[in-house]
Structure 1
């Protein structure tokens, strides 16, 4: 997703403006909705998602299909459903996939279950060892896939309600642009193929942006990060370590030097504290968690002692969505050790709660009415931080309210799983700056 998509997403949150109350939306037919807003009522027909047809997509050779791997990693990836690094789940229309030995329709067909196999939900495929597809044989794939979309209900410059179609994208659709004088009142989320609309697709904008807590004095940082605050204000050099997993690696965003959460945080700290001399370091390991660091032997490129503690940071900001398997008890044990270690080197600490990831990975069956994070890990972090007077930047809270701003949070995931785009990274920076 380009930077302009971040702008589009940000503009979504500045929507109610002159509208005195949120739009009321009702499903009145399989593909019909009624909208009441600004003293007006209108009915609209929603177009179903677009189906894209791909003919003879060439793959130079196929990997062996490995059903033991996760669905997104079992073999070659169909390019039509490819997101940032893997495929977008449930976008392939599985019954349409055909594999041939050549590009024309007269070329021999390969047989599923004999020559090849594929993950129907993830759109990954590979050859079978005893099938007719050779190790280096090119294969031509034809198939169809869905293109999710965000449509918007607009109050135009003349005070009339309009439905405007969004631009489809396999993983990161953005709502349609607004013209001067227009207000976005609601979004309609078409996540993929469906038989009809339901309430789950209707996202009236209930708030313009995350409701920032009132400014307090002293601030959380002044109370819990006194050494950090003192150095930021005085201009004494300060070293900050961003420690985490792939979300902290963050090189999947288009402009990592400015769009990763730690770089957005850095820029805003410098703006907030003009005298500050900040050294921002990143130590992160994609696909790993805190256990991974702790289990690495001395001399390893990811040894915890050498790559975290020995850097002697003044402030550590930790982000580990990959720790989300933990229970409250496991959080208390693991993070208790980290706290003792950080105190041992004189470092202050901010715990950054994780973003929301794929709904099914979180036990969710919807993207609305999800203010409360269901993960025990997040609950454990909140309790642990409160009991130990640790600064908590609650990114999870901000993700949980995106639906109130008309945003299905999954549309922010560049890989259709758990890698936030620049706007998603901004939510972390927002949570961090709220402490200051």
Structure 2
């Protein structure tokens, strides 16, 4: 198993080196001005949480980062005195967001309340252990980041042996050896892409639609050019010729396949409990694509029968217009949503298992992005650090991994199959 080799090789690192790893950075904030939100606002919303645990995306506040807040340290005051947890406010155990309590008996006036907020918060770090050409060991400290730290760059002639993940509030780090001895599988799927093969062999342009949710829309890539659809378009243009690639992105934040097939229904609205999203499947079909590449990590929240029915309907629709369909498996998300806190665990999500089986049964092209995220452990990279918002939005590295796997599935050798940092 992937997770067993590190434990058997801990003796490779002198314990004196591990003792040099510093605890996670922790800071305290006193009397931060905060508007206590009424109940009912989604827990991830940045305005609901302390300012220091809000992720940042292109200069704006993003989702709250789970685990970055010491919830036991939270103290909320007004001019009338200290508020009481449970009576006056509640803290979301996952997000760390704050809202007015609905329990009754609060002494705070109804509606949003201006309060003063004190709390402890923490950041993550990835340190590295290396050996030089003379066999001497060295420890290098990485830069702190609220959610997505990167390993430090090493001087020339230093061989990175392991990275050490120091999570929020952790006093010790978790060792991940940089081991690329296991083979990487990036399967060429062109035999399942008849229309794409015909277009390429005849020298005609291939029209591709990247279709999906907020990840396909580019969240949390540092720029539109760093999102996986843009990377894919550039790489295919270099391989096939820019005049032979026509790539479109059709994506809506927060959407699942139900939002596109049955907008306004319980299956769609149940994902968010909110108004229908502007998801119009005609925006995909009307482009008359040769290839549709779908990405819906949000389908993880759909019931199994709804997920099955949606994909059967989509298969019929795409076959009707003669389009090839490439399904991508979802990238990893926060451990609570993966169902395990282990960094080395294989993807056991029902959505991933379903997509692999559905693609196999119907001989559809599969870009198995999840497999690449599984392999991050052997690269010495803790996968949560590739989530810029700490939950479900990959950073530039995560988008590049998706582009790697998709280009490989299209028979194009990726630029980097995710070489270890």
TM-score by length of 1: 0.79
* More off after superposition, 391-400 vs 278-287: 278-287
| Partner SS for 2:332 | coil
Deviation, structure 1 residue 309: 1.7
Does 2:15 align with 1:58?
no
- Deviation per residue, 1:15-34 (Å, 9 max, x gap): xxxxxx999753xxxxxxx5
Q: Quick one: distance in 1 between partners of 2:15 and 2:170?
A: 26
The answer as to whether partners of 1:35 and 1:42 remain within 8 angstroms in 2 is: no
| Partner SS for 2:82 | coil
Residue aligning to 2:50 = 78
Residue aligning to 1:30 = none
Query: In the TM superposition, what are the counterparts of 1:389-400 in structure 2 within 5 Å?
Result: 389-400=363-374
Residue aligning to 1:94 = 71
The answer as to whether partners of 2:24 and 2:171 remain within 8 angstroms in 1 is: no
Cα RMSD after superposing both structures: 3.0
Does 2:232 align with 1:265?
yes
Q: Quick one: distance in 2 between partners of 1:361 and 1:322?
A: 11
Residue aligning to 1:408 = 382
Query: In the TM superposition, what are the counterparts of 1:3-14 in structure 2 within 5 Å?
Result: none
| Partner SS for 1:324 | helix
| Partner SS for 1:163 | strand
* One of 234, 247, 261 as aligned partner of 1:280: 247
Unaligned runs of 5+ in 1: 1-20, 27-33
Residue aligning to 2:257 = 290
Deviation, structure 1 residue 381: 1.7
Query: In the TM superposition, what are the counterparts of 1:16-415 in structure 2 within 5 Å?
Result: 25-26=9-10, 35-36=12-13, 43-45=17-19, 46-59=21-34, 61-66=35-40, 71-73=43-45, 76-84=48-56, 85-101=62-78, 108-128=81-101, 130-132=106-108, 135=111, 138-156=114-132, 158-194=134-170, 201-207=174-180, 211-213=184-186, 220-221=189-190, 223-232=191-200, 234-256=202-224, 258-274=225-241, 276-296=243-263, 301-304=278-281, 306-325=282-301, 332-368=308-344, 370=345, 372-415=346-389
Q: 1:213 to 1:82 in 2, by over 3 A?
A: closer
Unaligned runs of 5+ in 2: 57-61, 265-275, 412-421
| Partner SS for 1:378 | helix
Q: 1:44 to 1:220 in 2, by over 3 A?
A: closer
| Partner SS for 1:351 | strand
Q: 1:22 to 1:182 in 2, by over 3 A?
A: farther
TM-score by length of 2: 0.82
The answer as to whether partners of 2:127 and 2:141 remain within 8 angstroms in 1 is: yes
Q: Quick one: distance in 1 between partners of 2:364 and 2:202?
A: 23
Q: 1:412 to 1:74 in 2, by over 3 A?
A: closer
- Deviation per residue, 1:74-116 (Å, 9 max, x gap): 96211111124211112211232222347xxxx9434434443
